[in-house]
Amino acid sequence: MEAVFAGVVGLFFSAAIYLMLSRYSIRIMLGIAILGNAVNLLLFTAGRVTPEVPPIIRKGASTLDNAAANPLPQALILTAIVISLSFLAFLLVLTYRAYQDLKTDDTSEMLVAEPDERPLPPLGY
């Protein structure tokens, strides 16, 4: 079961990197969202995927059983979901604002600080 999750994590990471290398801001944003999901799935897989034994310490024991799933990665994933959702909302607003101002989502055309008609620098002193 964990080998399947490891393969899916690899697919997610490769798709995220492919999208983030694009020059369009929407694809970059989707790549970041997929990257966040890949990291969450990686943490989940690292915490052992065992449906048989719940992560509860038995009476009289001081630690979890070796077959039990680790609850710490699950708690980290819940926190990461909230953070990635808020980060994705921020990126969505930022991308929409850039599209409103510049009328494009192509990052190679977003050259407000470096317009095409700028004068050449001085050639002699």
Within 10 Å of residue 80's Cβ, how many Cβ atoms? 16
Tens digits of residue pLDDT in 83-111 = 999 999 999 999 999 899 888 888 888 87
Q: Which token pair is 39? A: 């990291």
Q: pLDDT above 70 covers what percent of the chain? A: 91
Domains of the chain, by residue range, sit at: 2-52+67-109
User: What is the mean predicted confidence (pLDDT) over 65-88?
Assistant: 85
Amino acid in the structure at residue 57: I
User: What is the mean predicted confidence (pLDDT) over 57-86?
Assistant: 84
Please give the CATH topology (third level) of the domain spanning 2-52+67-109: Helix Hairpins (1.10.287)
| pLDDT score, position 16 | 97
What is the pLDDT of the chain when averaged over all its residues?
A: 86
Residue 65 or residue 51, greater confidence: 65
Q: Which residues of 86-112 are buried (b: 16+ CB within 10 A; e: fewer)?
A: eeeeebeeebeebeeeeeebeeeebee
Say what the pTM is: 0.75
Q: Are 18 and 50 in contact (CB under 8 A)?
A: no
Q: Are 32 and 88 in contact (CB under 8 A)?
A: yes
User: What is the mean predicted confidence (pLDDT) over 17-46?
Assistant: 93
| pLDDT score, position 47 | 73
Within 10 Å of residue 42's Cβ, how many Cβ atoms? 19
